[in-house]
Structure 1
Amino acid sequence: MDSFEEVFDCSRALVFGIGGSGDVVGTLPTVRLLEQHGIETVIGGLAWERSIVDPQPGPRSIDELDEVDRVSESLALGSGDTRTHDGIAFAETAVASCLGCDVAFLDVTDGAEGFGEGLETACDRLDIDVVIGVDSGGDVLASGSEPGIVSPLADGISLAALAQLSLPTCIGMFGYGSDGELTLSELHRNVGSVAADGGLLGAWGLSPMVGDELERIVEEIPTDASRLPLRVSRGDVGTHSIRDGKRTVELTPASTVTFYLETATVANHSDMASIVSGTCSLEDADRRLRSEGFDTELSYERSRDDDG
């Protein structure tokens, strides 16, 4: 893909949050933009919640979900009734209830290779001709050297899987700096590197109409990275505390914009995507990242579980 306008020639898009939890909320501006251009959309996200929501470490597989229709090994369509067998609801569940539509639940337990194969199959069966993976905050642009990275596993698997698809894909980055994993200077540097290689495809801002809809959704879902851009759109720029005061982020008007980036270019700048590429299980992807010195979100969740 050379420019984001190419997406408008497609007929049906899968737009999913690539990092789990509240990333699905950050897809809304893109979904509404595509719909305005007559493109049917399937909205979705990874079946992976933060430990404050789901005490079981790691993502959930489709086999662990109730009230879903399996489309492939990596994707199932669910609703506001979708739960795990032990009763855990996801951010995607709340989005389905708020929007009154089916939502895709994505399973990354088969690693980057397995996830990509399952996505390819699902897109064929659902007549999807473009896939947009949306990250809230910007950590998908991490090169691997940044000390603030806390979620390399989900982003790395999603990015590597998207890079292997045969159909057109791109990355959407919503909420510039709103997750606190990358500093503004790191984000500026990394966006600049991708742009220098021809990977910046376009951008779209948060409109008041979509902002009102987003506000109704974030009332139901605990997500800093997708909630803070809404506050910025209402004029609340500057320093914000997130994660119960454990981090601070500096937000600018750029936080209200979704930047669209060419998938392969982003993947080429990502150590995480390179490390997990070709993996066929979550455990293998996690092991590879940890062997390269990364602290993964899975290992963090397991340590919390052991402490509890």
Structure 2
Amino acid sequence: MLDPALYGTESPAVILTYAWDRLLIDPVPGPRGLANFTGLHQLTPSVHAVPADAKPVAPAGSTLPRLAAELPHTFALIDPHHGAQGITRQLQELIEHLQPESINLLDVGGDILAQGDEPTLRSPLGDALTLAACCQLDAPVRLLVVGPGLDGELPAEALRDRMGPTMLTLTAEHTEPVSSVLEWHPSEATAMLAATARGVRGLCEIRDAGLPVPLTDEGPTVHEADLDDALTRNQLARAILNTETLDQAEQHSREICGYSEIDYERNKATWLGTQPEQSLDRENVLHQLDQFEAQARSRGITHTTFRRLTEALGYNGTQRQDLRQLLLNNCPEQYQAPLWRIPTEASNPS
């Protein structure tokens, strides 16, 4: 979404990204590495692209091959299993190979600007690894934050003095190149970013924990932040600069932040493995939906994501798209793409 907005469409970016889909897509905790895919295309000794015909090795799952099929960009795989040093090596090889005009480190939400001890922080490890890696490059890297607060971790007001003024505000037109992707991709932060760019405002409930995220005029804004300041502030990123394994980085996260988000995924995956699969019975689903929406209204919630609905109603990742289709078929007026609108009491008295 941001690449054509900043640079046009003539030369789509190479996007170096994690294969770290949450458990609704990938039942295996943590990020995937090179060994978890077949059909990768080697770009440099340590960097491989994920083409449309690549496949994750079962039981792992990944959205990257489908993204590669639907978008013009090249998706290359960040492999964090060799720590920050390994990611730095990947970046250096890519820079030598591509000779890019610019290098942007992009974070949706702004938790990359965290200190590491904030009580609302949920997933600092991936951000800290990429920040640590980028700060060890000789080439200049621009740190961009889009959608302050939209990841449900650091509130937008806490980020205002940590980043520069608005350099771009995304609009509905900017979301058009990814409209088809937003119909199936599970990213909640990207869904809210697109929704706010399209003018949606309110309070959106996300994740399994039901975190409330304000949808405001700040939602579709893009800011530049100082890379060195971010490293100075981010305790975890500084601690993992020299790590050579993901296990080392995880241990630093436990010591500094009090937890590892991969431990959380491990525990959740174990729990999910004990849950029976519910039948997607239409009447039962709509009854569950009415109950959920009544409770959400009482919390002041105006919108939610399909990931939140799937988990709140007790369904699993393999049922997510079928559940989504059932809801769209029965309540199409509540789809405020790509979010689900919670009706007011007046509009849905039942």
Alpha carbons 2:28, 2:59 under 8 Å: kept: no
Secondary structure of the residue aligned to 2:52 is strand
Alpha carbons 2:125, 2:260 under 8 Å: kept: yes
Are residues 136 and 164 of structure 1, via their aligned partners in 2, closer, same or farther at CA, if it must alter by over 3 Å? same
The answer for the alignment partner of 1:99 in structure 2 is: 71
Alignment match of 2:154 (pick from 159, 179, 182): 182
Deviation at 1:93, TM superposition (A): 2.3
Are residues 306 and 294 of structure 1, via their aligned partners in 2, closer, same or farther at CA, if it must alter by over 3 Å? same
The aligned amino acid for 2:66 is A
Mind listing any 5+ residue stretches in structure 1 that lack a counterpart? 1-27
Deviation string, structure 1 residues 254-292 (Cα, Å, up to 9, x no partner) = 110121223222111111211211101100000111122
- Give 1:197-216 correspondences, 5 Å limit: 200=164, 203-216=167-180
Alignment match of 1:46 (pick from 11, 18, 26): 18
2:28 is the counterpart of 1:56: yes
The answer for the alignment partner of 1:266 in structure 2 is: 230
Alignment match of 2:115 (pick from 127, 143, 154): 143
Deviation at 1:224, TM superposition (A): 1.0
Secondary structure of the residue aligned to 2:112 is helix
Higher relative contact order (CA 8 A, sep 6+): 1
The answer for the alignment partner of 1:229 in structure 2 is: 193
Alpha carbons 1:201, 1:261 under 8 Å: kept: no
The answer for the alignment partner of 1:20 in structure 2 is: none
Q: Structure 1 length normalisation: TM-score?
A: 0.81
The aligned amino acid for 2:24 is I
- Give 1:243-262 correspondences, 5 Å limit: 243-244=207-208, 246-262=210-226
**What is the rounded CA distance, in whole Å, between the counterparts of 1:67 and 1:268 in structure 2?**
39
Alpha carbons 2:236, 2:253 under 8 Å: kept: yes
**What is the rounded CA distance, in whole Å, between the counterparts of 1:201 and 1:72 in structure 2?**
36
Deviation at 1:229, TM superposition (A): 1.8
The answer for the alignment partner of 1:75 in structure 2 is: 47
The answer for the alignment partner of 2:252 in structure 1 is: 288
Q: Structure 2 length normalisation: TM-score?
A: 0.72
| More strand by percentage | 1
Q: Which runs of 4+ in 1 moved over 6 A?
A: none
Deviation string, structure 1 residues 176-200 (Cα, Å, up to 9, x no partner) = 2111111233223xxx1x35xxxx3
**What is the rounded CA distance, in whole Å, between the counterparts of 1:244 and 1:306 in structure 2?**
15
Q: What RMSD over aligned residues (CA atoms) do the two structures have, in Å?
A: 2.2
Mind listing any 5+ residue stretches in structure 2 that lack a counterpart? 274-350
**What is the rounded CA distance, in whole Å, between the counterparts of 2:202 and 2:209 in structure 1?**
15
Are residues 223 and 37 of structure 1, via their aligned partners in 2, closer, same or farther at CA, if it must alter by over 3 Å? closer
Higher-Rg structure is 2
Are residues 202 and 166 of structure 1, via their aligned partners in 2, closer, same or farther at CA, if it must alter by over 3 Å? farther
**What is the rounded CA distance, in whole Å, between the counterparts of 2:80 and 2:13 in structure 1?**
21
**What is the rounded CA distance, in whole Å, between the counterparts of 1:254 and 1:201 in structure 2?**
11
Deviation at 1:240, TM superposition (A): 0.9
Deviation at 1:244, TM superposition (A): 4.9
Secondary structure of the residue aligned to 1:248 is strand
Identity rate, percent: 26
2:84 is the counterpart of 1:112: yes
Are residues 232 and 101 of structure 1, via their aligned partners in 2, closer, same or farther at CA, if it must alter by over 3 Å? closer
The answer for the alignment partner of 1:240 in structure 2 is: 204
Are residues 245 and 59 of structure 1, via their aligned partners in 2, closer, same or farther at CA, if it must alter by over 3 Å? closer
